[in-house]
Chain A
Amino acid sequence: MVVKHTNSPALKEKSVYGVVAEFDRPEALVAAGHQIHHGLGYKKIDALTPFPIHGIDDAIGVPRSILGYIVFGFGLFGLLNAIFMIWYTNGYDYPLVIGGKPLFAWEFSIPPMFELTILFSAFAAVFGMFALNGLPKFYHPIFEMEGWERATDDRYMLVIEASDPKFDIEQTPRVLSELGALRTEVIAK
């Protein structure tokens, strides 16, 4: 359920997910986010934008992605996997003399080794990304906000979650409005 304006606090804080503020320009969003995080010290902030906004991460304090390490690990696994597979199948489990070549040699193993490395890395990159993003997640309170459809079109949303220690159902929306939000809205859990 959705409540308009901020004066009558009909909502109990514990039943609130957070406050969303709508901006019409990326710069405004970033500026506001910067102020909220670094100026006012809010922690649980998120920005919802139709396309990635550079700088927002620093502005609202989102750490760097760790995806790279995951991918590297899986890539290495893929490589070892390939080496083992070729050695086991051609060199160990069923040895056959073929064209007078050795049972196992790195020379002729390179292409499969390379391809499997890439394959595993790619899987890690994609599914790792979804996992880190907690996707798939088909339900989210934010979907209930009014005018959400523009969050994937041409509006820029800034969310302060109720779980933030500094969150205040009275103050927070006001602060956001002052920072140039077109409108703010309290989102129920």
Chain B
Amino acid sequence: MALIFPKSTDKYVKIGAAVLGLLAAGGGALAMLVGYPKVIMTGYQPVQPVPYSHKLHAGDLGMDCYYCHYTVDKSSHAAVPPTEVCMNCHTRVKANSPRLEKVRGSYETGKPIEWVRVHRVPDYVFFNHQSHVKAGVSCISCHGRVDQMIEVKQVEPLNMGMCLDCHRNPAPHIRPADQVTNLAWKPDRDPAEIGREIIQARGINPPEYCSGCHR
């Protein structure tokens, strides 16, 4: 009787299967790579309405983070400063630079500057800056070397895995209170060791249970 499939069919079937297998494997690997939090959740760097350079202020001029983000050790929110704070200096410094147009405008009209939010956690996560800063967790742990960024960029995934890694092993991220905002801090010995000592002394026990952050 007539042949259903030519002789070569099986060859092609084998090749096809092999190709499919490779594609599946490759695709899976790719998905894992792309899906990896560090990859998909970082790198967000929006353009801000005012060309404010953290590198200049926090880095070169060496202003302390607290100066602008003055509620970071008092409240869950790290306040984005009122225009007032900018004007404390800029009434004299660069008083009529065109790049500060928006700032002066806001100060005169009382209309807020529309800063674009860079770092965010979902609504159901209750992150508290005060408790972290007071415990000695440096800004750098979540925000990176902001003092070297001209335009602020998200460098950490800020996902739950990241939170838990630190909550389960806080020592490497704990610093003496006076070094929290010193992003360039280079201790002479193993920072984790220092962290452990502080944890011992202060009895720091970060929550690992759900209601610690989800309410």
Whether B109 is near chain A, meaning CB under 8 Å from some CB there, is: no
C-alpha spacing A164/B29, complex, angstroms: 48
Q: Which residues of A contact B3 (CB under 8 A)?
A: 139, 143-144
Q: In whole Å, how far is A142's beta carbon from the nearest beta carbon of chain B? A: 11
Interface of chain A, helix or strand or loop or mixed? loop
Q: Which residues of A contact B13 (CB under 8 A)?
A: 136, 138
Whether A58 is near chain B, meaning CB under 8 Å from some CB there, is: no
- Flag if B10 contacts A143 (CB, 8 Å): no
Whether B5 is near chain A, meaning CB under 8 Å from some CB there, is: yes
Whether A147 is near chain B, meaning CB under 8 Å from some CB there, is: yes
- CB-contact partner of B1 in A136, A137, A147, under 8 A: A147
- CB-contact partner of B10 in A137, A144, A145, A147, under 8 A: A137
- Flag if A139 contacts B1 (CB, 8 Å): no
- Flag if B1 contacts A144 (CB, 8 Å): yes
B:1-45 near A, CB below 8 Å: 1, 3-10, 13
Q: Count chain A residues whose beta carbon lies closer than 8 angstroms to a beta carbon of B.
A: 11
A:123-147 near B, CB below 8 Å: 136-139, 143-147
Whether A149 is near chain B, meaning CB under 8 Å from some CB there, is: yes
C-alpha spacing A149/B4, complex, angstroms: 12
Q: Which residues of B contact A146 (CB under 8 A)?
A: 1
Q: In whole Å, how far is A182's beta carbon from the nearest beta carbon of chain B? A: 17
Whether A84 is near chain B, meaning CB under 8 Å from some CB there, is: no
Q: Which residues of A contact B1 (CB under 8 A)?
A: 143-149
Q: Which residues of B contact A137 (CB under 8 A)?
A: 10
Q: In whole Å, how far is A2's beta carbon from the nearest beta carbon of chain B? A: 10
C-alpha spacing A148/B4, complex, angstroms: 12
With both beta carbons as reference points, the residue of chain B lying nearest to A97 in the complex is identified as B209
C-alpha spacing A136/B5, complex, angstroms: 12
Chain B residues within CB distance 8 Å of chain A: 1, 3-10, 13
